[in-house]
Structure 1
Amino acid sequence: MKPAFYGLLLALQFLTRVPIPVACPWTLATSRWAVRCYPLVGMLLGALMAAAGQLFAGLPAPLLTLLLLSLWVALSGGLHLDGLMDVADALGSNTPLEKRWAIMKDPHVGSFAIIALLFQLAWKGALLWAWLEAGISLLWLVAVLGLGRLAAVALLVQVPAARKEGLAWSWQQHLGHRDLLLSMLPLALLWWLTPGWVLALGALLFFLLSYGALIIRAFKGINGDIVGAAIEGGELWLLLVVWLSLSSVTG
């Protein structure tokens, strides 16, 4: 069980800014378990956000929305937002493939990256506010953040890396469908926490098919930035789907 435990700690260290003062060995086994733990880490982050929402439930909806959105960014350290911004700059450039890759690697931030960041945070904030106004349980954040990171695992397993370099490519050399299935096991808790979550899983599949087709066409494969952008895009899409599905019921 040690590889699984260290894999969870590695996933927490990589995907979050939660302080984990443990030196974890990076081996074939622990790195595979780290990927398998992606959805579990997302569920833990969602649970922290739901707990914060319960703790500060007395705040006006706009302030609670801003608090939750700030916590969302702080917990991940903006890691996935960085990927979204890089992909936005590359796609917005409307240049040949090699130039798009060069833009994605460029540490400078372009106008398309800023636009993508602003709209991503604005839409997330607006949808969180809409959730609060509609009385949707914040426990659904457990499903949204867990499924969002399942999208990353699915891309790593199903879509080849565009180039033989980077962490995404090195991970892919040892990942298979068994790893994807194992990563889904913690999601069984959603049957109890958020009945009806299977609809969100179906919505995620639709997102993955659409996003995967776009990425293959634009970049011929994935890298770490593209995987991070998938987490951000998947979360935003699921926020919208949950609101559309539940707002009329709770209202």
Structure 2
Amino acid sequence: MKSALYGCVLALQFLTRLPLPIACPWNSETRRWAIRAYPLVGLFLGCLLALLALLMHNAPAPITALALLSLWVGLSGGLHLDGVMDLADALGSNQPLARRWEIMKDPQIGSFGILALLFLLAWKGVLLWALLSYNAPLWWLIVLPALGRWGGAALLILTPCAQSKGLAWAWKQSLGVHDVWLSLVPLLALALFYPGIIAMLIATGVLVGGCRWALVKLFQGINGDMVGATIEGVELWLMGLMWSWWWFAMASPPGM
């Protein structure tokens, strides 16, 4: 029980910038529980986003969307956005494998990374605006960060690391396939009340499978930056699908 609690705290400390001055042991048990708690942390972040959306329900949709996006980025401290930029710079370079890895490790951000960040945040903000304008139910905003973090955890567990060093490799040594399923428990529980979560979960699995194939092909494995980029990618992917479904299925005039 103590390892599970420490794992939850570790997940919060790693995935958010919330001040939690608690010293947690770093061992195989706490790492396993931390990865299982990834979706729980996502649900917590989603609840904060939904609460802000409720508090701003009378504000113009563009202002609310920007406020939500700002909170979203602020809570994570831009941790996963850094992975998006590093991956974009490596992919945009069109260099051999060894050079791509050097570019990913370079702390300086290049033009491809800046463009990736710009378009990612722009699309997220616009999709938030669109969903708010269509009065989409807020349960999707609660589960979206959870599914993103489950996708990142699944990629980490199911994909070989490219190098036998680094934080991702250290975590992976403690994890097994069963941890992917255990981390799903809170999402499956919510799916009893919101069946649409199952469709979103399937869509997440499809994207994670595609990311796994592409990253192994392009980089011969993954690192922590790729896990962070996958979290961002899953969130954007699900927002796009959610908007498409809501627009085509729910926003069409009666009789069409």
TM-score band (shorter)? over 0.9
Give 1:23 shift: 1.3
How far apart, CA to CA, are the structure 1 residues paired with 2:206 and 2:218?
18
- Once residues 121 and 193 of structure 2 are traced to their aligned partners in structure 1, the CA distance between those partners, rounded to angstroms, is 26
Q: Using the alignment, how far apart are the partners of 1:209 and 1:139 within structure 2?
A: 25
Matches within 5 A, 1:100-179: 100-179=100-179
Amino acid at match of 1:113: G
Segments of structure 2 that go 5 or more residues without pairing to the other structure are 252-256
How far apart are 1:192 and its partner, in Å? 4.7
- AA at the equivalent of 1:59: A
| Residue in structure 2 matched with residue 212 of structure 1 by the alignment | 212
User: Matched residues in 1 for 2:243 and 2:195: separation?
Assistant: 15
User: Contact (CA 8 Å) 1:143, 1:194: kept in 2 or not?
Assistant: no
Aligned to 1:15: 15
1:140–1:194 contact (8 Å) kept in structure 2: no
- In 1, distance between residues paired with 2:114 and 2:206? 27
| Structure 1: stretches of 5+ with no match in the other structure | none
- Paired amino acid for 1:92: G
Distance 1:25 1:12 in 2: 14
| Residue identity opposite 2:171 in structure 1 | W
The residue number in structure 2 matching 1:78 is 78
For residue 59 of structure 1, what is the aligned residue in structure 2? 59
Letter in 2 for 1:218: L
RMSD: 1.1
CA shift digits 1:22-73 (9 cap, x unpaired): 1111121111111111111111101110011001111100100000000000
Task: Using the TM superposition, give the Cα deviation of residue 168 of structure 1 relative to its aligned residue in structure 2, in angstroms.
Answer: 0.7
Tell me the secondary structure at the aligned position of residue 194 of structure 1. Answer: coil
Counterpart Cα distance in 1 of 2:146 and 2:72: 13
Hey, which bits of structure 1, 4+ residues long, moved more than 6 A? Answer: none
Indicate conservation of the 8 Å contact 1:135/1:250, yes or no.
Answer: no
- Match in the other structure for 1:186: 186
Identity %: 54
Question: Per the alignment, in what secondary structure is the counterpart of residue 136 of structure 1?
Answer: coil
Q: TM-score when scaled to structure 1? A: 0.97
State whether residues 50 and 142 of structure 2, in contact with CA within 8 Å, keep that contact through their aligned partners in structure 1. yes
Aligned to 2:254: none
What number of residue pairs does the alignment pair up?
Answer: 251
51 and 189 in structure 1: CA distance in 2 versus 1, 3 angstrom threshold: farther
User: Any conservation in 1 of the 2:80–2:231 contact (CA below 8 Å)?
Assistant: yes
SS of equivalent to 1:232 = helix
Q: Is the CA contact 1:38–1:149 (under 8 Å) kept in the aligned structure 2?
A: yes
* Counterpart-to-counterpart distance in 1, 2:52 and 2:121: 19
In the other structure, the counterpart of 1:90 is: 90
Instruction: Determine the structure 2 residue equivalent to 1:224.
Output: 224
Contact residue 7 and residue 34 of structure 1 kept, 8 A: yes
Distance 1:235 1:29 in 2: 28
Of stretches 59-68 and 203-212 in structure 1, the one that deviates more from structure 2 is 203-212
* 1:194 CA displacement: 3.1
Question: 1:172, 1:22 → 2: CA distance?
Answer: 23
Deviation at 1:190, TM superposition (A): 2.4
Q: CA deviation at 1:246?
A: 2.4
Deviations 1:171-196 (A, max 9, x none): 11121011111111111232255331
Instruction: Tell me the TM-score normalized by structure 2.
Output: 0.95
